[in-house]
Amino acid sequence: LSAAAAGVRPASHRDLDRVTELWIALGGHHAAREPAFALRASADTLARRMLGARLGDPDTAILVHEDAGALTGLLIVRVDRAPEIQVERCRGEITDLYVREPARRRGIGRALAEAGAAWARERGAARIEVRVAAANPAANAFWRASGFAPFVDVLHRHL
């Protein structure tokens, strides 16, 4: 077990304030790169409620990385069942990943992604997806270094 992997654990309701803070920081990271991701001023309250609901959802896992009592990373992963018409039964999706800036490039992102993938695999997923913004080159490099390859291009146009 790597030092980074040893710090990964499931979040609990006691972590909700700190998980919300990390999730809002991730939102800010995205909003700075793409206005479509901007959050409202009241986002904290709504995010706390949404994250609290996800903590109680058996199809979602919220994992954190803890280092000396401080939360340094957050990953949210879910499993979705495919429509019956498809051969694939279940797929995983990593919906959120954030590592605090001073803790980056120490393997924490990798450890969280591997733990999230293992969680989805245990629930029957044979494949896992992630959506990554084209305007986020570091994350694109991270996911490719973690074995992810292009799957669907989501194109958009401002109206």
Ligand X SMILES: CC(C)(COP(=O)(O)OP(=O)(O)OC[C@H]1O[C@@H](n2cnc3c(N)ncnc32)[C@H](O)[C@@H]1OP(=O)(O)O)[C@@H](O)C(=O)NCCC(=O)NCCS
Residues that bind ligand X (CB under 6 A): 26, 29, 97-99, 104-110, 130, 132, 136, 138-139, 141-142, 145
* Nearest distance, CB of residue 90 and ligand X, angstroms: 21
Burial class of residue 28 in the structure, from the number of CB atoms within 10 Å of its CB (0-12 exposed, 13-18 middle, 19+ buried) = middle
* Nearest distance, CB of residue 32 and ligand X, angstroms: 10
* Nearest distance, CB of residue 96 and ligand X, angstroms: 7
- Please name which of 119, 110, 111, 117 lies closest in space to residue 141, comparing C-alpha atoms: 110
| 35 vs 83 by CB, closer to ligand X | 35
Q: What angle do CA 59, 109, 120 make, to 5 degrees?
A: 25
- Please name which of 145, 58, 130 lies closest in space to residue 96, comparing C-alpha atoms: 130
* Nearest distance, CB of residue 14 and ligand X, angstroms: 23
State the Cα–Cα distance between residues 64 and 12, nearest whole angstrom: 9
Q: Which residue is nearest to ligand X (CB)?
A: 109
CB 107 within 8 A of CB 144: no
| 134 vs 138 by CB, closer to ligand X | 138
| 55 vs 133 by CB, closer to ligand X | 133
